[in-house]
Structure 1
Amino acid sequence: MIKLRQLAAASAAVLSLAFAAPTASAQWIVYDPTNFSQNVLTAARELEQINNQIQMLTNQATSLVNQARNLASLPMSTLTQLQSSIAQTQALLGQAQNIAFNVQRIEQAFSTSYGAAAGSGTTAAMVANAQARWQNSVAAFEDSLKVQAGVVGNIPTNSGAMTSLVTASQSATGALQAAQAGNQLLALQSQQLSDLIAVLSAKSRADALEQARTASTEAQGQQNYRIFATRSGYVPGNVTMFGGH
């Protein structure tokens, strides 16, 4: 009787395990290699896209920084110094004495004191014109020396401006600063060329007036000779300077 009870209990235990087995197996994790590989590839693609977006944002930030640098203005300007130098040279040219750098004034002076006019009029008028021509030449040479001195005085200022501009150009942080430094260097070069033209103009004026004075003196001398020959009854003849044996 006891053995039958034990056998029945064991059978019941086996049946309970048999009915519980399907429930336990339903909780197991199933590994699918194909699905796992697809998930890894998908994650890798998403990570690559994120990296590309980060690189794009970095490039955009760098581009904005470069644009800001390119738009930055040069922190210095030599325009005032250059304008001051030009104004000084122009002032010296404007101080030209007697015959200024003016076409009408030149035409008027040559019609009254130079060329054919130098050998016309009374003796007193010719002497007065000769004196005026001499004064014009002396004044022109003085004016030329003043302009040369003024241009030489501009050299230290121009040298300082050139040094500052070259330094600014070499340390420029962007295209705009480099371009502005280059433009100011060109402006400095133009100012120096203007000074050179001023010197050449003043010197040429002085030389031209002196040459005109020389030519006018010759014309006046011929007229003086005609007056002398006419009024004194002078008859030209041969003159022996040294006696011969």
Structure 2
Amino acid sequence: MNAKLLSRAVAIGLFATTSLIAVAIAPPAQAQLVVKDPTNYTQNVLQAARALQQINNQITQIQQQAQSLVNEGRNLASLPFSSLQQLQQQVQRTQQLLGEAQRIAYEVQNVQQVFETRYRGAALSGTHAEMVANANARWQDSVAAFEDALRVQAGVVGNIDGARTAMDRLISSSQSATGALQAAQAGNQLLALQSQQLADLTALVAAQGRAQALESARTSAIEAESRERFRRFRSRN
């Protein structure tokens, strides 16, 4: 559309130039009946030259304005590819995996409650049956945490292929961007992709750290129970 406007402006300018020159240098009908005046002829030529210069200046201005419109149109053109929905879906899948954590949720209050009932205090010094039940519960906590970590890891690995595809398309789109808006949108989507990958990495580290922390807590609880059992054994003898 802008290219047509530019061509049309040039054609109009050229037509106006030709017409003005013809009018400026053509002698009046009455002048053909008398001897031509060199002074008038020279003035007509100068007027035609000045008119031609004005028309050329106008053509240049029209060309510049048309080119400016073309550039503005490019700068306002949106990027034809968007990966934001795909990235949002990947983040939601990772969040869903974290929300499906077994036995101990990723909540401060839940963690405190579980540790009070199974990992410290009375949980390590109850009856023999209670100690066995708590030890079994702690073992189940650790197994479930390692399973959760593996599930999160599988989800993160599953997102890698989608992230690679999105990255390839975004890089291609950024390299072929025709305006400032497209370049900015491509850059923003690349930043969104990086944020999604960081979110996946954070989730994976959190899941692995949770599993390791629970296993370490279970080991500490076993040691505490062993000391309590040994104390009870010595007190009987």
Classify the TM-score, shorter chain.
0.7 to 0.9
Richer in helix (by share): 2
Q: Tell me the TM-score normalised to structure 1 length.
A: 0.78
Partner AA of 1:57 in structure 2: I
Partner of 2:90: 85
Number of residue-to-residue matches in the alignment: 205
Distance 1:80 1:28 in 2: 83
Q: Is the counterpart of residue 44 in structure 1 residue 49 in structure 2?
A: yes
Task: Write the deviation string for residues 86-111 of structure 1: whole angstroms up to 9, x where unpaired.
Answer: 12111111111111111111000111
CA contact (8 A) 1:119 1:222 kept: no
Task: Write the deviation string for residues 141-194 of structure 1: whole angstroms up to 9, x where unpaired.
Answer: 111011001100111111111111111111112111111111111111110100
Instruction: List alignment gaps of at least 5 residues for structure 2.
Output: 1-32
Distance 1:204 1:191 in 2: 20
Residues 175-190 of structure 1 correspond to what in structure 2 (within 5 A)? 175-190=180-195
Q: Is the counterpart of residue 123 in structure 1 residue 128 in structure 2?
A: yes
Partner of 1:68: 73
Distance 1:159 1:30 in 2: 82
Q: Is the counterpart of residue 29 in structure 1 residue 35 in structure 2?
A: yes
Q: Is the counterpart of residue 158 in structure 1 residue 160 in structure 2?
A: no
Distance 2:86 2:36 in 1: 86
Q: Tell me the TM-score normalised to structure 2 length.
A: 0.81
Distance 1:64 1:192 in 2: 39
Partner of 1:3: none
Q: Is the counterpart of residue 110 in structure 1 residue 137 in structure 2?
A: no
Deviation of 1:224 after TM superposition, in Å, equals 1.1
- Bigger radius of gyration, 1 or 2? 1
CA contact (8 A) 1:88 1:150 kept: yes
Distance 2:169 2:34 in 1: 81
Partner of 2:59: 54
RMSD: 1.7
Deviation of 1:229 after TM superposition, in Å, equals 1.4
Q: Is the counterpart of residue 170 in structure 1 residue 175 in structure 2?
A: yes
The alpha-carbon distance between structure 1 residues 220 and 84, as it changes in their structure 2 partners (threshold 3 A), is: same
